[in-house]
């Protein structure tokens, strides 16, 4: 992807969506961690910790995008960064789904 400026309202919507995703991931991570503590399941604790890490990454990205928007220096995110975060979210989602179904 090129690093050209991204005009319009799309950058604001994208920054807001990163924040909402981080918030929902935090809620899921806390529920998984709570289940791990109550059921004494270390696997739940590991998956909950990974989910919390993903949520922190989402909040950091949202914060970075908002500060870049304030300075009018918002650029399109790199493909490698987006692919890495997507893979991390997919893996933790699959692990959470497996834990719920098992």
User: What are the residue ranges of helices labelled H in the chain?
Assistant: 10-39, 42-70, 79-101
Tokens for 23? 């918030």
User: pTM for the complete prediction?
Assistant: 0.63
pLDDT of residue 4: 56
The three-state secondary structure class of 75 is strand
> What's the pLDDT tens digit per position in 57-101?
878 877 877 777 767 665 555 667 777 877 877 787 777 777 767
Residue 60's closest CA among 30, 19, 28? 19
């Amino acid at each position: 992807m090129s690093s050209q400026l991204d005009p319009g309202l799309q950058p604001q919507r994208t920054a807001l969506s990163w924040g909402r995703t981080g918030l929902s991931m935090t809620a899921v991570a806390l529920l998984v961690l709570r289940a791990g503590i109550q059921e004494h399941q270390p696997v739940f604790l590991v998956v909950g910790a990974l989910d919390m890490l993903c949520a922190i990454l989402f909040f950091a990205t949202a914060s970075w995008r908002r500060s870049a928007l304030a300075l009018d220096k918002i650029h399109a995110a790199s493909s490698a960064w987006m692919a890495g975060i997507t893979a991390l979210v997919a893996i933790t989602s699959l692990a959470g789904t497996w834990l719920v179904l098992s």
